[in-house]
Amino acid sequence: MSSSSGLTFKLHPLVIVNVSDHFTRIKAQSGVGTTGSRPHPRVYGCVIGIQSGRTVEILNSFELQYDPDLDSIDRPFLELKQEQYRKVFPKYDILGWYSTGSDVQDNDMQIHKALIDINESPIYVLLNPAINHAQKDLPVTIFESELHVIDGVPSMIFVRSAYTIETVEAERISVDHVAHIKPSDGSSAATQLAAHLTGMHSAIKMLNSRIKVLHNLLSAIQKGEAPYEHALLRQICSLMRRLPAVDSPKFQDNFLMEYNDTLLMTYLATITKCSGTINELVEKYNTAYDKQSRRGGRMTFM
């Protein structure tokens, strides 16, 4: 699929994850847009990638600082981030910028024009953070800028462009991890392991609070500040008599056996993982030096 300008845009999931994470953090920190008709906070950033011929591949993004009083982005911060990314990714160029919202805002064109000196034809990636269960497509829109003559006056406007999703192996792993995240308590997200640990934490916290209540009651009874309740004391005594059973030799033997089995399984899993990593390294080495090995003998690790 190509745009009206003939460019083909390939959007990587890492960009969508970065923009979503940026919006979620700003929203959680500011508390705006959670209730009522208060608007969602807008976030701003740059998208970077590689343009090869008529193909534009949007690979990554970084955040920008926006000054609402001046209605402009922090230019020194942008130049600093650009220089840092050039050191790490020398082939990446700034392709444009991103923001959040349901539609293009009035000040978006002003920010767009501010980046023309970096990229003569920047692109605008807009993410709609509103949840729409009826929508099947990604809430991401890519805009290009075109110069149109409106009422005899040349004006620059945004034009929607088609795009495709392009992924690499590392991104597929991260996206698969994000896909298994499920909401918890309607306010945050946690994996199944985090949900299990949260449940255990709540149970231990409740047990601790109940033990404190019993301890305070026994202290008050001992000091004469509370009356004796023989039925309750008998239940507490019965509960306390069960505790020494935990220190029995049989329990210690069973505990050490399970503990050693767990350590052995962990050790075997570590060895298996290391073996798989070494095997993968050997395959990559043989593939990289395959041409040389054909001329001078195949180099392999045993």
Residues 141 and 228 in one domain: no
Under the banding of pLDDT at 50, 70 and 90, the label for residue 259 is confident
CA distances from 224 to 91, 212, 219, 229 (A): 79, 18, 9, 12
Element (H, E) at 86: helix 75-88
Q: Tokens 């000040």 — which residue?
A: 107
Angle at 16 between CA 14 and CA 22, to 5 degrees: 100
Which of the two residues, 96 and 189, has the higher pLDDT score? 96
Give me the pLDDT at residue 145, please: 86
- Cα dihedral 1→57→161→106 (10° resolution): 170
Question: In 7-44, which positions are buried (b, 16+ CB within 10 angstroms) versus exposed (e)?
Answer: bbbbbbbbbbebbbebbeebbeeeeebeeeeeebebbb
Give me the pLDDT at residue 212, please: 92
Q: Phi, psi (5° rounding) for residue 60? A: -155, 180
Is residue 3 scored above 60 in pLDDT?
no
Q: Cα(1)–Cα(147) distance, rounded to whole angstroms?
A: 22
Question: What percent of the residues of the chain are helix, what percent strand, and what percent coil, each to the nearest 5?
Answer: 50, 25, 30
Of 125, 151, 179, the residue at which a domain comes to its end is 179
Would 38 be classed as within a structural domain? yes
Residues 155 and 23 in one domain: yes
Give me the pLDDT at residue 209, please: 92
Residues 263 and 138 in one domain: no
Under the banding of pLDDT at 50, 70 and 90, the label for residue 1 is very low
Give me the pLDDT at residue 193, please: 61
Residues 174 and 186 in one domain: no
Q: Cα(131)–Cα(138) distance, rounded to whole angstroms?
A: 11
Residues 134 and 57 in one domain: yes
Give me the pLDDT at residue 302, please: 45
Instruction: Supply the CATH number for residue 23's domain.
Output: 3.40.140.10
Crossing angle, helix 230-242 and helix 192-222, to 10 degrees? 130
Residues 296 and 151 in one domain: no
Which of the two residues, 246 and 183, has the higher pLDDT score? 246
Q: What are 190-226's pLDDT values in tens digits?
A: 456 667 778 888 999 998 999 999 899 899 988 888 8
Sheet with 44-52, strands from edge to edge, namely: 153-161, 140-150, 123-127, 93-100, 44-52, 55-63, 8-11, 163-165
Residue 43, C-beta contacts closer than 8 angstroms, at least 6 positions apart? 19, 22, 23, 26, 63, 99, 100
Of 203, 232, 247, the residue at which a domain comes to its end is 247
Q: What is the CA radius of gyration of the chain?
A: 30
Of 179, 195, 214, the residue at which a domain comes to its end is 179
Would 242 be classed as within a structural domain? yes
Give me the pLDDT at residue 206, please: 92
Q: Tokens 């909401």 — which residue?
A: 183
Is residue 296 scored above 80 in pLDDT?
no
Residues 23 and 169 in one domain: yes
Would 70 be classed as within a structural domain? yes
Q: Cα(162)–Cα(147) distance, rounded to whole angstroms?
A: 19
Which of the two residues, 187 and 76, has the higher pLDDT score? 76
Mean pLDDT of 151-177: 79
Would 296 be classed as within a structural domain? yes
Residues 110 and 259 in one domain: no
Cα 264 → chain centroid: 33
Residue 238, C-beta contacts closer than 8 angstroms, at least 6 positions apart? none
Mean pLDDT of 169-188: 60
As for how many domains the chain has, the answer is: 3
Residues 217 and 254 in one domain: no
Which of the two residues, 37 and 87, has the higher pLDDT score? 87
Would 2 be classed as within a structural domain? no
Summary mean pLDDT of the chain: 80
Would 71 be classed as within a structural domain? yes
Under the banding of pLDDT at 50, 70 and 90, the label for residue 109 is confident
Residues 186 and 172 in one domain: no
Question: In 207-225, which positions are buried (b, 16+ CB within 10 angstroms) versus exposed (e)?
Answer: eeeeeeeeeebeeeeeeee
C-beta of residue 49 within 8 angstroms of C-beta of residue 56: yes
Would 152 be classed as within a structural domain? yes
Can you give the residue range of the structural domain that contains 23? Answer: 8-179
Mean pLDDT of 269-284: 87
Would 114 be classed as within a structural domain? yes
Residues 274 and 192 in one domain: no
Residues 201 and 70 in one domain: no
Choose the weakest-confidence range: 138-142, 167-171, 278-282.
167-171
